[in-house]
Structure 1
Amino acid sequence: MSANCRILLLDDEPLILMDLEFAAEDQECQPLTATNVREAMEHIEAQGGVSCAVLDVTLRDGETCVPVARELERRSIPYLLHSGDLNRQEGTLAALNARLIPKPACSRRVVETALSLATAPLDAAKSH
């Protein structure tokens, strides 16, 4: 992956976030980490933006990734969902209609999948 690749990693679990961060660095991609919606939105708004994203569905304090996912969709930025909360999040997952990798999962595989969405033709990325 090119050095100008910037991947947004949104997860409220520090160890998972750290593993994803290391996996992104291993792919020579700049990780932009966030633990809540506000931090994630700041990365999206920042100069340089993001190439793709990995979003945890359920965050602390009742937050979900939905506002971030909607903003990414508005900007045509590919993302995938990475959640261990599948039973409680069925409605949210259906509403987002995005690629899902259930937790636990290999961080390298999660990051590689997100990066493949960023490099895939737009119509192919939507079919996942």
Structure 2
Amino acid sequence: MKPRILIIEDEAIVAMELRFVLEDLGYEVVDAVADARSARNVVRETPVDLALVDIHLSDGPTGVELGRELANDQNVTVLYMTANPGMVRDGVAGTIGVLTKPTDERAVQTAVAYALRRRQGEMSPPAPAELRLFA
């Protein structure tokens, strides 16, 4: 079964590019949503393995709390993707880390692969350099 990924990103072009990259890599993108409420609705209705979460969404800077909630209450592996990594500089309990935007396809590929390996309990190879891990 293909890993199921939810994109939580308010910039439509960024979300579309992410979807293309992930689908080309063989992942199933269950949806791309722009706000916290929509993300919660998707996760309630569809199994999600990994969420790529921006911090500033169309409903404000709701991504930090949303990521914490998805990781801790919904058992979703969470990677933040943001142009504002300072907003999660102290880490977010239950989530893996942050990939700073703008980024490239290779960084997305390696960060997603790493996060999915972590979800399965694998710890090697080490995290990609572009991914800042939380403690």
TM-score class, shorter-chain normalisation, is 0.7 to 0.9
Per the normalisation by structure 1, the TM-score is 0.78
**2:80: which partner in 1?**
81
Whole-Å separation in 1 of the counterparts to 2:50 and 2:63: 14
Q: Which has the higher contact order (CA 8 A, sep 6+)?
A: 1
CA deviation after TM superposition for structure 1 residue 27, in Å: 1.5
Structure 1 counterpart of 2:63, which letter?
C
| Aligned-pair Cα RMSD in Å | 2.4
Structure 1 residue 36: Cα displacement: 0.5
The residue type equivalent to 2:39 in the other structure is A
Q: Identify the match of residue 94 of structure 1 among 85, 90, 111.
A: 90
Asked if structure 2 preserves the Cα contact closer than 8 Å seen for 1:37 and 1:65, the reply is yes
Bigger fraction of residues in helix: 1
Percent identical among aligned pairs is 23
Alpha carbons 2:70, 2:78 under 8 Å: kept? yes
Q: 1:111 to 1:52 in 2, by over 3 A?
A: farther
Report whether the alignment pairs 1:65 with 2:63: yes
Q: Distance in 1 between matches of 2:25 and 2:38?
A: 23
Describe the superposition over 1:9-50 as per-residue Cα deviations: whole angstroms up to 9, x where unpaired: 111001100010001111211112111101111121113x10
Change (3 A) 1:25 1:78: same
Change (3 A) 1:22 1:71: same
1:15-94 counterparts in 2 under 5 A? 15-31=13-29, 32-47=31-46, 49-74=47-72, 75-87=74-86, 89=87, 92-94=88-90
Unaligned ranges ≥5, structure 1: none
Q: 1:40 to 1:111 in 2, by over 3 A?
A: farther
